[in-house]
Amino acid sequence: MNETATTKPKLYHRIIYPLLDFIRAESFSGILLMFVTLVALAWANSPWAETYEQVWNTPFTIALGDYGLTKAAILWINDGLMAIFFFVVGLEIKREVMVGELSSFRTAAFPVMAALGGMLVPAGFFVLLNLGGEGISGWGIPMATDIAFALGILTLLGRRAPLSLKLFLIAYAIVDDIGAVLVIALFYTAEVNFLSLWVGILLFGLLLVGNALKMRNIWIYSLAGVVMWVAFLLSGVHATIAGILLAITIPGRSKITEQEFITSTGEIVQDLHTTHLAETSDPDLKPSREAYQGAVYTIEANCEEALSPMHRLEHALHPFVAFLIMPVFALANAGIFINADLVNSLTASVPLGIILGLVLGKPLGIFFFAWLASATGIATKPKAFSWMQLFGVGLLGGVGFTMSIFIANLAFAGSAMLPLAKLAILCASVVAGVVAYMLLRFSGRKAMTDDVNV
């Protein structure tokens, strides 16, 4: 009895607290993104609309001696800052595969099947409406899910959204991210400079070797990552892919085992406790501040060695991505000038394909493939949430926003279709988010009532 009582808090601290930190950060980031999007739209449709274009098209140069890169501010954001975003996404994917919801077939099968349906069916909706048309290149737009927006909406539901439902959303959204990365790498690359590409691949290979040789210096990985980013930027393959590849090379194992950490730290704490008792019982005994500080530094070193570089980087960069990079991306990309012509064009095949793909294709694909996995015995639906709640979370998958806009920038770069695609993404995200909130609020209240009745 006592063993169980003392074990549960330890497991709770070790597993649930990091997850809750992630959910809180993503949730607040989603709410911040909503606000920033409204600011961008207001700015782009205000009397100062010209300044919106001027600010984001201002050229910036980063140079080292005679070598340098000059790009418009929006391209530094979309190619540079978003590479860091994709790097953190890559770290999240790696963590989930190693120790999270995707770490075993039993836990991964259900969200993976759901995510597969959430990618294929929306893309199918778009292709059916645009097959043979000039907008067919946008087929990847409705495949994406914005995890920050989706978690933000779930958080507004409070206790009506159980933790297991958030876990399911995180798992299938991360699989979505894997699909989006593959789509960007394979289908949204125009011309390829093979010399630069091979330089990037060579660096990737060297970092993998460094990982295998237990190289753990984060600065070496960071410097090599910057060079790899430049190589991919010059290769024609989108530079953000370098962020994903770099994340794969980051060591995911800690330097010392859990038992070694517990034993070593426990001995130090016990010595400190013994010394403190001796000093308390003997007033003439002078406390040794150096010994105390040395012990604290040793514990700090133990903590650093007990956490892998992957975990430390994700923990350090996630707030930077959630509260700076994503809002800046939204501010730079969500500002579109909305007039009657643009609104009237929403019934055209491209925007209609995006809207139907996100609002209908996403929830139908996620629900049907999840049901299929359960019906065939491939996976089992968690009992903590209902099928109606699953459909509601599937609707949240239709909140594409960040990743959808990112793919739209690639699919329709320099095209008049880009503002229309962005407006369709915004409209679809609003509709999917509102309907999902209402459905989950109702189904969550019903689930809570059933629990009380039981």
Residues 315 and 448 in one domain: yes
What's the sign of the alpha-carbon dihedral 294, 297, 303, 308?
Answer: negative
In this structure, is residue 221 part of a structural domain? no
φ, ψ for residue 72 (rounded to 5)?
A: -65, 155
Quick one: pLDDT at residue 422? 95
Q: How many domains does the chain have?
A: 2
* CA of residue 139 relative to chain centroid, distance: 21
- Spatial distance between the Cα atoms of 102 and 90, rounded to a whole number of angstroms: 14
Calculate the alpha carbon distances from 136 to 310, 346, 356 in Å: 38, 16, 15
Residue 104 burial (10 A CB sphere; 0-12, 13-18, 19+): exposed
In this structure, is residue 99 part of a structural domain? no
In this structure, is residue 12 part of a structural domain? no
Quick one: pLDDT at residue 23? 61
DSSP assignment, residue 336?
-
Residues 263 and 353 in one domain: no
- Spatial distance between the Cα atoms of 83 and 71, rounded to a whole number of angstroms: 15
Residues 48 and 123 in one domain: yes
Residues 366 and 267 in one domain: no
- Spatial distance between the Cα atoms of 353 and 132, rounded to a whole number of angstroms: 13
Q: Which of 246, 278, 302 delimits the end of a domain? A: 302
Range(s) of the domain holding residue 390:
21-76+108-188+309-453
* CA of residue 31 relative to chain centroid, distance: 15
Which two tokens mark 218? Answer: 């984060």
Q: What 3-state class would DSSP assign to 71?
A: strand
In this structure, is residue 226 part of a structural domain? no
Q: Can you say whether residue 435 is alpha, beta or left, with left for phi > 0 and alpha for psi between -120 and 50 degrees?
A: alpha
In this structure, is residue 296 part of a structural domain? yes
For 151, residues 6+ apart whose C-beta sits below 8 A from its C-beta are 23, 26, 27, 30, 166, 169, 170
Quick one: pLDDT at residue 209? 95
Residues 276 and 388 in one domain: no
Q: Which of 245, 278, 302 delimits the end of a domain? A: 302
- Spatial distance between the Cα atoms of 234 and 193, rounded to a whole number of angstroms: 7
Q: CB atoms < 10 A from the CB of 25, how many?
A: 17
In this structure, is residue 437 part of a structural domain? yes
Dihedral in degrees, nearest 10, Cα atoms 150, 248, 413, 327 = 40
For 208, residues 6+ apart whose C-beta sits below 8 A from its C-beta are 248, 249
Q: What 3-state class would DSSP assign to 214?
A: coil
Residues 320 and 291 in one domain: no
Query: Which residues sit opposite 69 in a β-bridge?
Result: 62
In this structure, is residue 81 part of a structural domain? no
Residues 296 and 355 in one domain: no
Q: What CATH number is given to the structural domain containing 382?
A: 1.20.1530.10
Query: Which residues sit opposite 59 in a β-bridge?
Result: 72
Quick one: pLDDT at residue 452? 38
Residues 48 and 162 in one domain: yes
Residues 298 and 313 in one domain: no
Nearest CA to 394 among 427, 418, 365, 363?
363
Quick one: pLDDT at residue 219? 92
Q: Is the overall model pTM greater than 0.85, yes or no?
A: no
The H or E element that residue 49 is part of is helix 49-56
DSSP assignment, residue 257?
-
Report the chain (454 residues): mean pLDDT per 10 consecutive residues. Answer: 44 50 67 90 94 92 77 90 91 84 83 95 96 92 88 81 85 88 83 89 95 90 94 87 93 83 82 71 62 79 83 87 90 92 93 96 96 91 89 93 92 91 95 93 63 40
Quick one: pLDDT at residue 288? 64
Angle between the N-to-C axes of helices 147-156 and 17-44, in degrees from 0 to 180, rounded to the nearest 10: 110
Q: Which of 276, 302, 328 delimits the end of a domain? A: 302
Quick one: pLDDT at residue 453? 42
* Tens digit of each residue's pLDDT (9 = 90 or more) over 92-137: 888 888 877 787 887 889 999 999 999 999 999 999 999 988 899 9
Quick one: pLDDT at residue 429? 94
Residues 385 and 436 in one domain: yes
Do residues 392 and 161 touch, judged by C-beta distance below 8 A? Answer: no
Quick one: pLDDT at residue 271? 77
Residues 286 and 345 in one domain: no
SS3 content of the chain, % helix, strand, coil (to 5): 80, 5, 20
In this structure, is residue 206 part of a structural domain? no
Residue 168 burial (10 A CB sphere; 0-12, 13-18, 19+): buried
Residues 394 and 423 in one domain: yes
